[in-house]
Structure 1
Amino acid sequence: MSIERIVFAVAGAFILISLLLAHYVSPYWMWFTAFVGLNLFQSAFTGFCPLALILKKMGKKTGPAF
């Protein structure tokens, strides 16, 4: 799996998990959802993604996202 697909999968999982936590535990988990969304938004313009840097250092290969 390429770095791009891992980033998409992790971001999607974080969003779904935080939405479940906001529904069942506390609405404050929506702040985590907003953080993930903002990080995805800024990475689209800047190209900076902390998870992508970590995965690259771990030896994962980049590839076409679509």
Structure 2
Amino acid sequence: MLDGKFCSEAWDCISRYVYSALQGGSIMNGWTNDEKMMIACCNDGTRPVIFKIERIDIED
């Protein structure tokens, strides 16, 4: 993140996980010990960035 801007390529890599989490979904069911946690990686081969995305459920 530079100057308050988020890399559009990174967002392209993680957006499907974020949208799934917003809907209460779990993309990585069975891949991680916690169904609320998702791992994604930016596709930049020379400067890879790994994202850990966690869904936080708020009780009504």
TM-score, normalised with respect to structure 2:
0.29
Instruction: Determine which structure has the larger strand proportion and give its number.
Output: 2
TM-score, normalised with respect to structure 1:
0.28
